[in-house]
Amino acid sequence: MKKLIIASTSTVYGGTYLDYLLPELEKHFSSCKEILFIPYARPGGISHDGYTENVRLAFAKINKSVKGLHEFESQSFGTEAAIRNAEGIFTGGGNTFVLVNELYRNGVMEVLADVLNQGTPYLGTSAGSNITGLTMQTTNDMPIVYPPSFKTLGLLPFNLNPHYLDADAQSKHMGETRETRIKEFHEYNRTPVLGLREGSWLEVNGEEIVLKGNLSARLFRQDEMPTELETGSDLSWIK
C-alpha cells in the first residue's frame, strides 16, 4: 500500500530545511531507523555528498540516520538493491531533468516505482515530488541535460506543478505566467495538473490522496477552467 508525502517545497519562507514537515515525517517514517536519500537533483549544483549531509542534519532532529543513494553506485551491492532494501526513501529537490536523467542512467526508475507501490514510505520535495506524477512535463526547471524520457514514477494518476505560483498582477514582466504554461501543456496532453503551493503537500495512503498544509491547491484540466481545491480535501477522484 502506497505511503507517500509529496511536498511542494523542502523549505518554506522564513523556515529551515524541512522544519515545517518534521512532525509529519516523524510519524510517516516511524517504522524506519535509516532513510535512503536520493540526491541526484543537486539544487544549485551542490555535490551528492554535500546534499546528503544537509539531509542528514535535518533527519537527525527526528533521530533518523541517512544514506545517500550515490554511495551505492560503485558498490557491488548497487543502487537497485539499495532501493529494494530501504526502510524509507526521500528524494530531494533541485533540477528535475538532472534527477530523471540520473534515475534512468542508474536504471532505478522502475525499481523505485515498484517499492513505492509496495509500501516503502516515501518523501518527495519539489523535483522529488514532480517525479511521482505521470511525467515530468510540468516541471519549472531548465532542460540542462537531455533525459532519455520524460516519463516518471506514475504513483499519482496526474501531474504536479510544485512551487505553484499565482500570477502577480503588479508585474511588468511579459514572460508567461505559470497558468499560461500549464494551459499550453494541455494543448498537447490530457493529464490533469495539480498546482501545489509552497507549504502544501499530498498525503497518499494506498489510493487515498489528501491535500495538507494551510493553502488550497489549483487543479488544471484540459478544456476546463482551473479550480481551487481546499486543504483537507480528498483528491483521489482526479484522473
Indicate the pairing of strand 217-220 with strand 193-195: antiparallel
Binding mask 72-111 for a second copy (x = CB under 8 A): ----------------------xx-xx-------------
Q: Is 223 in the site for a second copy (CB under 8 A)?
A: no
* Pairing label, strands 65-68, 3-7: unpaired
Closest approach, Cβ 50 to a second copy, in A, equals: 13
Distance of CA 66 to the CA centre of its chain: 18
Does position 7 interact with a second copy (CB under 8 A)? The reply is no
In angstroms, the Cα distances linking 77 to 40, 49, 97, 109, 186 are 19, 19, 26, 17, 42
Could you give the CA distance from residue 181 to residue 156 in angstroms, rounded to a whole number? 21
Residue 68 and residue 91 in contact, taking contact as beta carbons nearer than 8 Å: no
Q: How far apart are CA 210 and CA 93, in angstroms?
A: 21
* Number of residues in contact with a second copy under rule CB under 8 A: 44
Site for a second copy, residues 113 to 172, rule: CB under 8 A = 136-146, 149-150, 163, 165, 172
CB 231 within 8 A of CB 196: no
Does 237 participate in binding a second copy (rule CB under 8 A)? Answer: no
Residue 60 within binding range of a second copy, rule CB under 8 A: no
Our finding on whether 176 is near a second copy (CB under 8 A) is yes
Question: Which residue lies nearer to a second copy by CB, 22 or 114?
Answer: 22
Residues forming the active site: 126, 141, 163
Residues interacting with a second copy, by CB under 8 A?
9, 11-14, 42-45, 94-95, 97-98, 136-146, 149-150, 163, 165, 172-176, 180-189, 198
